Amino acid sequence: MMGGFTWTYFFYLVQSIGWTLVLSALAFVLGGVGGFLLMLARISPRAWLRRPALLFIECIQGIPLLILLFIVYFGLSVYGLVLPALVAASIAMMIYASAYLGDIWRGCVEAMPRPQWEASECLSLTRWQTLRLVIIPQAVRLSLPPTIGFLVQLIKMTSLASVIGFIELTHAGQIINNSIFQPFLVFVLVGTFYFLLCYPLSRWSASMERKLNVGNR
C-alpha cells in the first residue's frame, strides 16, 4: 500500500530547488556570454559577422528547447559523446538563452538615438569606445526588464530537463508522485515553489519597467 506525503518528501522537493537554480544560473550566465557576443556580431558593420549571427539566432529561435535537449543529450551520444544530464541540459539551455538574449540586447543597443553615435564620432571615439562608454551603459538600463523577464521564463523552462533524467524540481515531483501517487498535492507544491521563485523576479521586472518608462502607458 502506498504511503502518504511526509516531511521527507517535502525536504526532497526543497533540495531539488537548488538544482533548478544551479541549472538556471548556468544557462543564464553562459547564455549571457554567448548572447553578448551574438549582439556584437549582429550590430557589426561587417556582413560576414552579421549574417551568420542572424542565421544562428533564427535557427535556434525556430527550434523548441525540448528538441535541443534531445539533440545534445541523445544525439551526441550516438557519436560517442555521452554527457551527464546537468552538462547536457546546461549546454542546450545556454544555446537557447544566447539566441534570445543576443536578440534582446541587440534591439536595446539599436534603440539608442542616432545622435549618440554621431556625438561620439565627433569626439573621435572608436566604435568599441562608443559602445563601451556611451551606448552599452544606456542600453543596459533599457534591457533590464526584458532580460529579467526572460530569466523568469528560463527558470520555468528548466522543467524540460526532466525528460533527460536531470533531477530538478519537476523531476523530483514526478519521482515522489510515482512513489505515493498523490499528483494533485505533489504538483500543486511543485507549482507553488516555481511561483515563489519567479514571482519576485516578475514584480522586480514590472517595477523596473515603470521606473525606466519602458512599460505600457
Largest CA distance in the chain: 79
- Within-domain flag for 217: no
- Within-domain flag for 132: yes
How far is residue 50 from each of residues 39, 109, 158, measured CA to CA in Å? 9, 15, 30
- Within-domain flag for 1: no
Q: DSSP class of residue 62?
A: T
What's the pTM? 0.88
Q: Are 93 and 119 in contact (CB under 8 A)?
A: no
- Within-domain flag for 81: yes
pLDDT score at 92 = 95
- Within-domain flag for 189: yes
The count of domains in the chain is 1
90-104 b/e with 16+ CB inside 10 Å = b?
A: bbbbbbbbbbbbbbb
215 pLDDT tier (thresholds 50, 70, 90): very low
pLDDT score at 5 = 81
pLDDT tens digits, residue range 117-167?
878 778 777 778 888 888 888 888 888 889 999 999 999 999 999 998 888
**Crossing angle for the helix pair 136-157 and 7-42, nearest 10 degrees?**
140
- Kindly tell me if the per-residue pLDDT of 214 is higher than 70: no
> Which CATH number do you get for residue 129?
1.10.3720.10
How far does CA 81 lie from the centroid of its chain? 25
- Within-domain flag for 2: no
Domain encompassing residue 35 = 7-211
- Within-domain flag for 176: yes
pLDDT tens digits, residue range 56-82?
999 999 999 999 999 999 998 888 888
pLDDT score at 3 = 63
The grid coordinates of residue 33 equal 556570454
pLDDT score at 193 = 95
pLDDT tens digits, residue range 155-211?
999 999 999 888 899 999 999 999 888 889 999 999 999 999 999 988 888 787 777
| Residues listed for the chain | 217
Q: Are 69 and 88 in contact (CB under 8 A)?
A: yes
